[in-house]
Structure 1
Amino acid sequence: MKKQFISDITSEGKKVESTFALKFKKPPVDYKSNKEGKWFEMRLADKTGEITAKYWGNDEKKTLDIYDSFSRGCVVSLTGTVQEYPKGSNNFSISIDSAIDTLKVCEIREYDVGDFVATTTKDIDKMLVEVRSILASVKDKDLIRLVMLFVRDKKFMDLFSKTPAAMEYHQNYVGGLLEHTLNVMKIADNVCSLYPELDRDLVVSGAFLHDIGKMSELELSGTLIGVSHEGMLIGHTVIGHDMVSKRIAGLDDFPVTLKLKLLHIVLSHNGHKEYGSPKVPQLPEAVVIHHADDCDAKVDIFLRLKREANTDDPWIWDKKIKGHVYLE
């Protein structure tokens, strides 16, 4: 059983004895002084967060052997000491001194994958019922034909309900994509109630489909959320566009203009080209989905930062949002 989580590492000098998933490791380097041996840095993770660890070796061969014994995604068991730098920053790391501490790879039987990959706290089955209920209210006969192709595809829905929404930033856990999509659908649907001129059926359908490319972009690799080769080379917006296009191609007499509008929503939902959108929103319905998507992601990030803040200070600064968050 895992003894300590990263969220428990909150004070300098505290001893650490636990297991962590390896996100990446940097090559061993020589000490700047004349000290013998090498040291290397790792980025470790569990379901509560991430932390940097540094292994300080005094025997070069032993250090290189340990370094070569593990790879990305494996789980390591270690002992070490918490360090904080700079002082008062709440920026903690783990120092592993080869003279007194240990670092080794764990076998599968020695850990529970659930300790490293978080799962949504919401009820997945209930969220699926809500998604289906909202989609069932779509009146446009062509859009309902299309979305039902996805909803009735068990393999698709199983993966849709398990995929994370992101690798790091928002809802980065099993079930995150479903949770995020449902939130976007609800936000967008409420906006439609304020603006009757909007095509609600297009908005709701687009909200459901906007991020489905993440099902191929993101992958659970053992203990970590990673980006697939397809995700790196193509990206979820274009993958999603292709997934929707393929389904539409199997439907007889699907209106060309409706197809273009729906595909535009998928391609433009990130809002800006520098954020991965091949097109910026050019339809009012696309504007709604872009901002609903952005709203849910940002609110989730801010709420998590507040929950995880470990300070008496009323303010924190976070590099992900490049700004401050007020905690009181």
Structure 2
Amino acid sequence: MSKKEEDFIENLNLSRDISSEFAIAEKIIRTSAKGRKYIDITIVDRTGQMDGRMFPHPIEVDSVHDSIKLGSVCRIMGRISEFPSDSGKFNMVINVLTELDDDEYQLEDFVMASENNTDDLVGEIRRTIKDMKDPHLKNLLKSFFCDKNFTELFYKSPAAIVHHHNYVGGLLDHTVEVLKISRTACEIFPDLNQDLLFCGVLLHDVGKIKTYTYGNGPISISEEGELLDHIYISCEMVKEKMEKLDTPKELSNQIMHMILSHHGPVSLGWGSSIDPKTPEAKTLHYSDDMDAKIKETFQR
């Protein structure tokens, strides 16, 4: 059964009761200003995402939270309301949430896909690699982007479950957008090592091909992604290639540093294991952060 057009998230902009199907992207137990525990749930469909709140009996909050399966599609009964008042932002208070079987919904209602031309984006990457002067960096990138098994995953993978580029093809979109931002930075700051920066940009999120699952259901995190996170996975993938290619140690350290620090200062708590210290690492971080934040604004 397909969702009704008026029940897609992009159309939920009036206060009303609702009973429809949504996929579960995130869940977390929070405490209100009045001290009441509740479950904060991010729901998604192919048109976008929405914040939902569920208020079970206090003694049932933990068990209800644990019973909600990330990546599942559920029939949700609740009420759409504007919160805070006059903010123009609509949320859902969830009263009943029931997981559905695969034959009870249409998968295409819950999987978003990029609207960009894949060939154009791939062309941008290929031209960047072709124009590189550093043979070690060029060979490293070719070891990834000339590998059909890798590119089939990279060109289709999402970049996230929620927030930004959380759709099929999102990783490719995000990578090329960060590349374009970094290219502009090189025009402003010509002393940046362009080959090093672009190599870091193209490889910083490669681990996301193993971090998320999709295709047989809504986007969800894989076991590997849950336990290791994409930054570690990316580093391991790149390190393995560099060891096989005998990449010079100094260059290897520069690339690994960019990947490990691309989520910014450790104090931010966004996943970096070290602060970005080189000009190229800082440029990658700010380019990545700018693209993610602006894209999230447009997706909401």
Q: Structure 2 length as normaliser, TM-score?
A: 0.79
Match of 2:187 among 180, 190, 193: 193
Would the alpha carbon gap of residues 188 and 94 (structure 1) be closer, same or farther in structure 2, given more than 3 Å must change? same
Q: What corresponds to 1:283 in structure 2? A: 278
2 CA distance for matches of 1:197 and 1:267?
22
Write out aligned runs for 1:263-302 (5 A).
Answer: 263-273=256-266, 274-302=269-297
Q: Structure 1 length as normaliser, TM-score?
A: 0.73
Query: Residue 6 of structure 1 contacts residue 51 of structure 1 at CA under 8 Å; is this kept in 2?
Result: no
Would the alpha carbon gap of residues 95 and 160 (structure 1) be closer, same or farther in structure 2, given more than 3 Å must change? closer
2 CA distance for matches of 1:291 and 1:25?
28
How much is the aligned-residue C-alpha RMSD, in angstroms? Answer: 3.2
Would the alpha carbon gap of residues 26 and 134 (structure 1) be closer, same or farther in structure 2, given more than 3 Å must change? closer
1:213 equivalent to 2:207? Answer yes
Match of 1:6 among 9, 17, 24: 9
Query: Residue 41 of structure 1 contacts residue 54 of structure 1 at CA under 8 Å; is this kept in 2?
Result: yes
**Number of residue pairs matched by the alignment:** 279
Match of 2:152 among 134, 138, 158: 158
Query: Residue 12 of structure 2 contacts residue 90 of structure 2 at CA under 8 Å; is this kept in 1?
Result: no
Query: Residue 22 of structure 2 contacts residue 44 of structure 2 at CA under 8 Å; is this kept in 1?
Result: yes
Any idea what the Cα deviations from partners look like across 1:31-79, whole Å, max 9, x if unmatched? Answer: xxxxxxxxx99764312213437699xxxxxxxxxx9998443333456
1 CA distance for matches of 2:230 and 2:164?
15
Match of 2:245 among 245, 251, 259: 251
Query: Residue 49 of structure 2 contacts residue 162 of structure 2 at CA under 8 Å; is this kept in 1?
Result: no
Query: Residue 15 of structure 1 contacts residue 81 of structure 1 at CA under 8 Å; is this kept in 2?
Result: yes
Query: Residue 127 of structure 1 contacts residue 178 of structure 1 at CA under 8 Å; is this kept in 2?
Result: yes
Higher helix share: 2
Q: What corresponds to 1:50 in structure 2? A: 50
Would the alpha carbon gap of residues 104 and 121 (structure 1) be closer, same or farther in structure 2, given more than 3 Å must change? same
Query: Residue 50 of structure 2 contacts residue 92 of structure 2 at CA under 8 Å; is this kept in 1?
Result: no
Q: What corresponds to 2:226 in structure 1? A: 232
Query: Residue 26 of structure 1 contacts residue 42 of structure 1 at CA under 8 Å; is this kept in 2?
Result: yes
Runs of 5+ consecutive residues of structure 2 not aligned to the other structure: 30-38, 57-64
3-state secondary structure, aligned to 1:10: coil
Q: What corresponds to 2:109 in structure 1? A: 115
Offset, 1:104: 5.5
Offset, 1:85: 5.6
Match of 1:127 among 113, 121, 124: 121
3-state secondary structure, aligned to 2:219: strand
3-state secondary structure, aligned to 1:196: coil
The farther-off stretch of 3-12 and 15-24 is: 15-24
Match of 1:21 among 13, 20, 23: 23
Runs of 5+ consecutive residues of structure 1 not aligned to the other structure: 28-39, 57-66, 98-102, 306-328
Would the alpha carbon gap of residues 84 and 192 (structure 1) be closer, same or farther in structure 2, given more than 3 Å must change? closer
The farther-off stretch of 150-159 and 44-53 is: 44-53
1 CA distance for matches of 2:283 and 2:81?
45
Return the letter of the residue paired with 2:13: T
2 CA distance for matches of 1:72 and 1:236?
18
Would the alpha carbon gap of residues 82 and 200 (structure 1) be closer, same or farther in structure 2, given more than 3 Å must change? closer
Any idea what the Cα deviations from partners look like across 1:258-291, whole Å, max 9, x if unmatched? Answer: 1111111111111211221112122211121111
